[in-house]
Amino acid sequence: MRHPNLSATDREEENSHRNLSSCLRSVIGRIWQLIVTILQQFVCCPNYGEEYVPRREEPRAFAKPEARLLVVGASDTGKSTFMRQMRLEFGDQYPVQERRRHQPHIRRNVMDSIHKLVSAAAQYEYSYSTPEVESIAMKFAEWPPLEDLLEAPDLDPSWSDSIESLWKDPAIQAAYQRRNEFHLMTNADYFIAHAPRILQEDYVPTIDDILRMRIVTRGAVTKTYELTNIRMTLHDMGGQRPERIAWVNQLDYPSAILFVASLSEYDQTVEEAEESKNRVQESLDIYEQLLGYSPFDTTPVILLLNKSDVFSVKIKEQPLKKYFPEYEGPDGDEASGRDYITSLYVDLTKKYKKNLLVRYTEATNRDNFRAIFAFVSNYVSRTIMGLGGLY
């Protein structure tokens, strides 16, 4: 608005101020726009020029507790089966190509089992029911070395029928009833019964075959699994006598020791022992040696008494008192027999003033494994966190 009383000089000065103010506002506006652009491009929106999408905050990743478990025990107690169950539940679940790799091992289990039964029948001087079956038995007794037989390009198709005939014969069944007197793998009956399928040319092992197969563990087998609440590394130590020397040097101060023992071997002797020694006693001696090793003084011990399903059948056939005269319970009583064998381990644990957790397992039963491992995982997690985190 013009003021009529202003002189021409005053009006010219007023216009000059107005133009300068407008210019300053324009410059300040441009500088501000430049600042906003820079902030958008380098701070707020790295992908400037693209459609802006608000960035969602990612949850912070926290390190899981780490556990290291030693899986130990005498030979043929089920340690390797436990490790296979872990792989089935938390690993690659044995793809077909991997299962094919175990084909010769499983066929060896079949052939070795029937060979040992034929040898036992001859030792006990059992007679076969027919000359034809006796002739088959002679074929098995005189076969070439097992490795040569299994590595032949074409497996003799008659082996399957021959094994089936032998398995049905009373002489072989009588030898099988005395299997505690010689070393026969726990699942021999399973593999012999499935021989027609296993000896087929295009045979691919099933998961049940994998769980039941017998392979001697040499050295240490180490596997790590990322579980929901914990990162767990398991060290499966070979149970053969020469392998045990390395146990104490494998891992000092583990998070826990998983000691696997067999309930069902109370009537069997150690195969590699020069002297006759009961397998349960062998397991107890190993257990005591482990308890006395100083780096394990504060290590929690979880005792898995395995093959409880086999034990429940055997205890009705073989009196526990015959092999452990100190046992005072009734013959054939599963609960009393199980409690007695458990007490042998508990007494040793008390002697070394350690705490012990005991669980009864069936290594080839997947539902039983899931329940047992859920307990083991939760217990180890609580123990580690109670010690202040990673251990």
All domains of the chain in start order, with CATH: 66-95+217-386 (3.40.50.300), 103-204 (1.10.400.10)
Burial of 299-310, coded b for 16+ CB within 10 Å and e otherwise, reads bbbbbbbbbbbb
Q: Does 173 or 35 have the greater pLDDT score?
A: 173
Residue 171: predicted pLDDT: 97
Report phi then psi at 299, rounded to 5: -85, 130
Strand 66-72 with 231-237, pairing:
parallel
How far apart CA 149 and CA 72 sit, in angstroms, is: 33
How far apart CA 256 and CA 383 sit, in angstroms, is: 9
pLDDT at 348 over 80: yes
The average pLDDT across 31-54 equals: 48
Rg (CA), the chain: 36
pLDDT at 62 over 90: no
How far apart CA 264 and CA 287 sit, in angstroms, is: 17
**Most trustworthy range by pLDDT among 197-201, 228-232, 280-284, 290-294:** 280-284
With residue 316 as reference, give the H or E element that holds it: none
pTM over 0.85: no
As given in the structure block, the two tokens for residue 225 are: 């699994």
How far apart CA 72 and CA 67 sit, in angstroms, is: 16
The average pLDDT across 262-282 equals: 87
The average pLDDT across 135-160 equals: 74
Q: Does 15 or 111 have the greater pLDDT score?
A: 111
Strand 356-360 with 301-306, pairing:
parallel
Q: pLDDT confidence of 240, banded at 50, 70, 90?
A: low
Work out the number of other CB atoms within 10 angstroms of the CB of residue 360.
Answer: 17
- pLDDT tens readout for residues 325-343: 999 999 999 999 999 999 9
How far apart CA 130 and CA 126 sit, in angstroms, is: 12
Residue 262: predicted pLDDT: 95
Work out the number of other CB atoms within 10 angstroms of the CB of residue 207.
Answer: 13
As given in the structure block, the two tokens for residue 147 are: 């490795």
How far apart CA 210 and CA 102 sit, in angstroms, is: 8
Report phi then psi at 70, rounded to 5: -90, 120
CA distances from 182 to 116, 124, 134, 213, 373 (A): 8, 11, 21, 19, 33
How is residue 268 annotated by DSSP?
-
Burial of 349-359, coded b for 16+ CB within 10 Å and e otherwise, reads beeeebebeeb
Quick one: CA dihedral 112, 120, 311, 276, positive or negative?
negative
- In terms of Cα–Cα distance, which of 326, 258, 251, 242 is closest to 80? 258
